[in-house]
Structure 1
Amino acid sequence: MTAPRYPAKPEPGDTVAVVSPSSGLAGILPLPFEWGLRRLREDFGLKVVEYPTTRKMNSTPQERAADVHAAFADPEVKAVLTSIGGDDQITLLPHLDRDLLRAHPKPFFGYSDNTNLLVYLANCGIVAYHGGTVMVELGRPGAMHPLTAASLRAALFTSGPFELTEPRETRTEDKPWQDPATFEAEPAMEPADAWTWHNADRVVEGRAWGGELEILSWLMMADREILPADQYAGRVLFVETSEEMPRDETVYRILRNMGERGLLRQFSGLLVGRAKAWSFQNPHHADQRAEYRSAQRKAVLRALSEYAPDMPAVFDVDLGHTDPQVVIPLGGTVRIDGPERRITVTY
């Protein structure tokens, strides 16, 4: 397989598309969406165009695929951002036109259920960007977190190496988006666990591949967009888990099955996102959050010990369902420098 190429980047003043390939949640929860659109316009200096299903719940996969096609094919649109994730984007994939997307490569931003499209685009030969949704990162109450803003701005507008910064704080609890008071102040933060390094005795570098672990497991179950194992040789795997907070045993089993498929041993390194450990359904207190994250780390290490014992890994990297959040270029280069304790991505 030919390595994915970086699409041309927009500049301030350009037009970007906002689409909802998963859920039209923007239509029933407009406050964070409008907040995020305003930041795109005022802080990032971009013009924004929406498509018919952006604020429409229960759109068909065909309708959402048509919006993705229109956004990529429009010569005025220089990048495509997603509003939010969802849970059925896998049904969109059969309706996508691979030739159309290849003919009009553009930076695409999203994560969570958008892992489906990120992996699809990488298989089309297009580097895609894991992170930066309109409703969550751009629509953050009060202000964007500075580390999030710096990473998203670099990924959106620039090309070249970007060193990730280890944060001192993290957000765990969310506030209801239906309440206007939620957006009057920044979220409460708490001290962040430091990155945890495993087998940090070497430097590894490779093309990034991964995303939300639950979605990757669905792609494998549906036999969609997963290449033969040897196609991942030397790549850097990155994984994270969602607000559905899968059990540590579930995390282990998914990785075990990747190991049985021959995938895990192909990767040269692993980045594991800081686990989301609170939700409205599971409002864990501080000790429970710490216990959940510890159990998930142990689950990953268990799988590595069985299938890739020598693999360097870094835990609690701020990718995916976390705040602050860094953007990871799927198909782009990632460098893990164990001796120097540095992670560099190339946007």
Structure 2
Amino acid sequence: MTTPAYPPKPVPGDRVAVISPSAALPGVLPLPYELGLERLRKEFGLEPVEYPATRRMGSTPQERADDIHAAFADPDVRAVMASIGGDDQITVLPLLDRELIRANPKPFFGYSDNTNLLAHLWNTGIVGYHGASVMCELGRPGAMDPLTAESVRAALFGSGEYELRPAERWRDVDRDWADPATFESEPETRPGTGWTWVNADRVVEGRSWGGCLEILAWLLMADREIPRDLSVHDGGVLFLETSEELPSGEEVFRVLRSMGERGLLRRFSALLMGRAKTWSFERPNSPAEGARYAAEQREAILRAMRAYAPDTTIVFDVDLGHTDPQIVIPYGGVIRVDGPARRITVTY
């Protein structure tokens, strides 16, 4: 197993590929997408480059694989960023040319269904970046959240340590991307509640692995991009988060139980759990209902970890994944979890 290495970073003025490895929602909901492209240019000084399937809904897995190959192979493109997630990127994985990607390592940014490509890069020997999609984070109404923007900038251009900090304010409720009025103001936020620590009596430093829990469950079922030798994760940092599909606490427990039965959970010395997404258009929970949902998820995770990895350090409500603000997490990069000091540091 090749230890993931950090790819070279872009600098302002470089070209960055914008691809849709899952759903080509830029073709259906252009407002957040065009706003995200504008911010790439004006706020980050990067020139986005689109590919044939970026805006084409219904593109085949092969067409999306072709875009990934073209983006990584182009010597003038210095980073690759997903427009958004989706739900069928697992069908693209068998079509990827691992040697082509290995020969052209680049920073890739995405999350949710892009956990597929991030896991593929991990096994290819390339550190990826969990977070920062064009439509969600860069296309946020009103303005990018300052904490998100700071993290994205550090991950895009930096190569050193970056200390995470809990969001002072956060939001859970989404607004209609098809309505231009959505983009005239920033979304409403609520006060942050900080992180919750469990078994915080040690310092853990190791390489990260994980992503969106629902996508990891699919990868486990299909037996794709899961290392055969699980010892590569010994002493590492697992990070997980759940999506706007709002899986039940029992479903979350069952996925973690399966990971435990496979021998995965006990390998990691720390778990960072993203703040649970508790609202969706299909389930517009009140704040009280959302709090109950989050509490049920936390108890499900604790139940599984007590059974399979009782000594693991756990940090709940980290600003990663389907949340706003969002901090980019290096996928395969080094993370230090300092329990006694209550500090989390990533290396970009």
* TM norm structure 2: 0.99
Give the Å deviation of 1:191: 1.4
After the TM superposition, which residues 157-172 of structure 1 pair with which residues of structure 2 at under 5 Å, given as runs? Answer: 157-172=157-172
Q: Return the alpha-carbon distance in structure 1 between the equivalents of residues 187 and 86 of structure 2.
A: 23
CA distance in 1, matches of 2:157, 2:180: 31
Given residue 316 of structure 1, which amino acid in structure 2 is its aligned partner?
A: D
Question: Quick one: which amino acid aligns to residue 333 of structure 2?
Answer: G
CA distance in 1, matches of 2:222, 2:98: 18
The letter for the 2-side match of 1:284 is: N
SS of 1:304's equivalent in the other structure is helix
Q: Answer yes or no: is 1:280 the counterpart of 2:281.
A: yes
Aligned partners of 2:302 and 2:165: how far apart in 1? 24
Tell me the alpha carbon deviations over residues 161-183 of structure 1, each in whole angstroms, 9 at most, x when there is no partner. 00001111111111000000000
Q: Distance in 1 between matches of 2:153 and 2:194?
A: 24
AA paired with 2:234? A
- 1:117 aligned residue: 117
- CA shift, 1:60, in A, is 0.2
Q: Do structure 1's residue 331 and structure 2's residue 332 form an aligned pair?
A: yes
| CA deviations over 1:55-96 (Å, ceiling 9, x no partner) | 000100000000000000000000000000000000000000
Residues of 1 paired with 2:299 and 2:16: CA distance?
41
Please name the residue that 1:146 is paired with.
Answer: 146
CA distance in 1, matches of 2:106, 2:178: 33
Match of 1:74 in 2: 74
1:64 corresponds to: 64
Q: In the TM superposition, what whole-angstrom CA distance separates every residue of 1:165-224 from its partner, at most 9, and x where no partner exists?
A: 111111111100000000000000011222000000110010000000000000000000
Q: What corresponds to 1:22 in structure 2?
A: 22
Structure 1: segments with no counterpart, 5+ residues: none
AA aligned opposite 1:74: D
**Is the deviation greater in 164-173 or in 150-159?**
164-173
Stretches of structure 2 lacking an aligned partner (at least 5 in a row): none
Identity over the aligned pairs, expressed in percent? 67
Give matches, 1:122-141, under 5 Å: 122-141=122-141
Superimposed CA distance per residue, residues 18-50 of structure 1 (whole angstroms, 9 cap, x where no aligned partner)? 000001000010000000000000000011110
Aligned-partner residue type, residue 230 of structure 1: S
Task: Indicate the RMSD between aligned Cα atoms, in angstroms.
Answer: 0.5
Aligned to 1:88: 88
Give per-residue Cα distances to partners, 1:136-173, cap 9 Å, x unaligned.
00000000000000000000001010000111111111
Distance in 1 (alpha carbons) for counterparts of 2:327 and 2:27: 26
**Aligned partners of 1:293 and 1:208: how far apart in 2?**
24
CA distance in 1, matches of 2:232, 2:59: 34
- The residue type paired with residue 61 of structure 1 is P
| Distance in structure 1 (CA, Å) of the matches to 2:120 and 2:6 | 15
| SS of residue paired to 1:210 | strand
| Residues 1:204 and 2:204 are matched in the alignment | yes
Counterpart for residue 47 of structure 2: 47
Find the residue that maps to 1:220 and give its secondary structure: helix
Q: Distance in 1 between matches of 2:203 and 2:71?
A: 38
Structure 2 CA distance for aligned equivalents of residues 290 and 91 of structure 1: 35
C-alpha distance in 2, partners of 1:27/1:249? Answer: 36
Q: Does 1:219 align with 2:219?
A: yes
Using the TM superposition, give the Cα deviation of residue 231 of structure 1 relative to its aligned residue in structure 2, in angstroms: 2.4
> What residue identity is the alignment partner of 1:274?
R
> Match of 2:346, SS?
strand
> SS of the residue aligned with 1:109?
strand
Q: State the alpha-carbon separation in 2 of the partners of residues 210 and 268 from structure 1.
A: 13
> Take 1:269 and 1:215, find their aligned partners in 2: how far apart are those partners?
20
Matched, 1:291 2:303: no
- Aligned residues of 2:141 and 2:186 also touching (Cα < 8 A): yes
